[in-house]
Amino acid sequence: MTASAVPAPTPTSTGEMSRIRGLKTRRNAELGLLVFAMLLVAAFGATVEANQFDEIRPGFWLPAALIGTLFLGLHMVVRFTAPYADPVLLPAVALINGIGVAFLRRLDIARAIAQETPEPGLFADTSGRQLAWTLLSLVLASVLLLVLRDHKIISRYAYTLGLVGIVLMMIPAVLPEDYSEVNGAKIWIKFGAFSIQPGEFAKLALVSFFAYYLVRKREVLSLASHRFLGIDFPRGRDLGPVLTVWLFSLLVLVFEKDLGTALLYFGLFVVTLYVATERSSWLIIGLLLFFGGVYVAYLLGAAIGGPFANFYDRAELWLDPFSQENYTRESGNSYQLVQGLLGLGTGGLFGTGPGAGSPGKVPEVRTDFIFAGLGEEIGLFGLSAILIIYLLIVERGLHAALAVRDSFGKLVAGGLAFTLGLQLFVILGGITGLIPLTGQTTPFLSAGGSSLMANWLLIAMLLRISDAARRPANTPAERAGGPKKAPTQLHGAMTEVIKP
């Protein structure tokens, strides 16, 4: 196996042999964890069958085996194209994706039983479609890993990607509502029965662009500052880009009627800025700007309505979901939010057990509210485990950012990992009533192709960067004229230095 292929030090070698970590590829650990994850998915399926059909049928392991085969395919691709990649990322994401598909299948089965139709086949209904999306996502991720052998190549297309990101982000805002609005949020492009959320892909492009821009400007942004109240504040003219992005995300908030997306883009930029400059003042400025802007939007919504009305309504529902008025309103009531909260409450500490609850009562339980539905069945205990797995995925992303040697890779990995965490915060905060609810997808869990594809691409990028981070500085393959290393100072060379 390639996993144990440690480059043995030869007496004639004189160059830098290796770095401290990363001698081992750990691919076998990844394989083991992947098998474990698929066992968990099979166990979930078995419990569902026990609760729904009152028997565990001999074919209960088929869905898990099927999706496991797909992940195994990606594992093989990683083995050959990114042998030093982080061993934890793939299995952890595979577990969440697998549980998502299994839970969707459980919902399909329950619906079929309720409607007294025959049990849906493996490839039918929502779970079947999700399985197909998973296959497509894994193919995309493999292609990315195969084509992109060095993450620094992306920086060459940074401005193109920035433009693509902005265009993708703007399309739903300018399209007529018939083609872009679902449940009051204009974040879709719909053609016929098919619809995609371009914003999911836009964030990947924007992270790459922000990273490139900030690598070039980091010195200016972090050195030129004046001190006020013990915090280093940047100069006025350096605030330009931040203010632009802030304005942009507020426009998104108003025209796409989606607080979550706005928070996602703005948070992404501010955090990348913070990572690039190591100045906490950016975080403070960003938070103040965002909450100020949101509060003003809320006041405007109360006073003049118009484009701000949707956000005002959502904030009202968030403030008091259980009030009679909010619950029984004609349109845009808090029924969904309340059902989700009741579902989580029913689950309690240990949940009703997979397949034993009634998550079908929550509207949109397949997409936005999948966490509430899952929470009813696996309880706080299970949900915390899932959350910790998410946390570990984000942590591995940040770890790759810390360990990788070029600043562009650092910013991309940090930005991507943070986006994943922030998106999770936005949707879970919405479901649990911590922040106003906005329709974000739960990464890897909820039904939906765009989200799944975009997030698997994100994981493929993290795998690529973590491979670069853990790879020994000078492997024998490279010495023998393998892939050439790009000059390490490619992106640092253009920084402008200003003395404080």
Partner 1 sequence: MPEFVLTVARFGFLILLWIFVFTVVGVIRRDLFAGGRTKSIVASPRGVGGAVLQGRPAKAKRGKAARQLVVTAGNLAGTRITLGEAMITIGRAEDSTLVITDDFASARHARLVPREGQWFVEDLGSTNGTYLDRGKVSGPTPVPLGVPIRIGRTSLELRP
Q: Minimum Å distance from CB 404 to partner 1?
A: 9
Report the residue from 7, 307, 332, 492 that binds partner 1 according to the rule CB under 8 A: 492
Binding mask 15-44 vs partner 1 (x if CB under 8 A, - otherwise)? xxxxxxxxxx-x--x---x--xx-xx--xx
396 contributes a contact to partner 1 by CB under 8 A: yes
Report the residue from 100, 267, 286, 354 that binds partner 1 according to the rule CB under 8 A: 354
435 contributes a contact to partner 1 by CB under 8 A: no
59 versus 292: smaller Cβ distance to partner 1: 59
88 Cβ neighbours under 8 A, 6+ residues apart: 30, 33, 392, 393, 396
What are the backbone angles phi and psi of residue 234, rounded to the nearest 5°?
-75, 165
Separation of CA 374 from chain center: 18
Beta bridge partners of 228: 231
Report the residue from 77, 78, 92, 104 that binds partner 1 according to the rule CB under 8 A: 92
Q: Minimum Å distance from CB 23 to partner 1?
A: 7
Q: Minimum Å distance from CB 165 to partner 1?
A: 27
137 versus 222: smaller Cβ distance to partner 1: 222
CA dihedral 209, 152, 454, 262 (to 10 degrees): -20
Among 173-181, 351-359, 437-445, 446-454, the segment contacting partner 1 (CB under 8 A): 351-359
469 contributes a contact to partner 1 by CB under 8 A: no
Separation of CA 190 from chain center: 22
386 contributes a contact to partner 1 by CB under 8 A: yes
Cα dist. 407→250, 412, 441, 495, 496 in Å? Answer: 29, 9, 30, 12, 15
493 contributes a contact to partner 1 by CB under 8 A: yes
| SS3 (DSSP) at 445 | coil
69 contributes a contact to partner 1 by CB under 8 A: no
Among 59-67, 144-152, 384-392, 415-423, the segment contacting partner 1 (CB under 8 A): 384-392
47 contributes a contact to partner 1 by CB under 8 A: yes
146 versus 479: smaller Cβ distance to partner 1: 479
Residue 476's Cβ-count burial label (10 Å; 0-12, 13-18, 19+) is middle
Cα–Cα distance between 85 and 462 in angstroms, integer?
Answer: 8
| SS3 (DSSP) at 10 | coil
Q: Minimum Å distance from CB 76 to partner 1?
A: 19
Cα atoms found within 13 Å of the Cα of residue 160, Cβ hemisphere only: 5
Q: Minimum Å distance from CB 52 to partner 1?
A: 10
Closest CA to 355 of 98, 99, 64: 99
Q: Would you tell me how many other CB atoms lie within 10 Å of the CB of residue 241?
A: 15
Say how many residues touch partner 1, by CB under 8 A: 69
382 contributes a contact to partner 1 by CB under 8 A: yes
Task: Give one DSSP letter per residue of 162-186, joined into a string.
Answer: HHHHHHHHHHHHHS-HHHH-BTTB-
* Sole residue written with tokens 């607080």: 259
189 contributes a contact to partner 1 by CB under 8 A: no
Cα–Cα distance between 494 and 154 in angstroms, integer?
Answer: 17
Q: Minimum Å distance from CB 14 to partner 1?
A: 6
| Rounded CA Rg of the chain | 24
Binding region for partner 1 (CB under 8 A): 9-24, 26, 29, 33, 36-37, 39-40, 43-44, 46-47, 50-51, 54-56, 86-88, 91-92, 95, 222, 278, 350-354, 356, 378-379, 381-382, 385-386, 388-389, 392, 395-396, 405-407, 410, 473-474, 488-489, 492-493, 495, 497
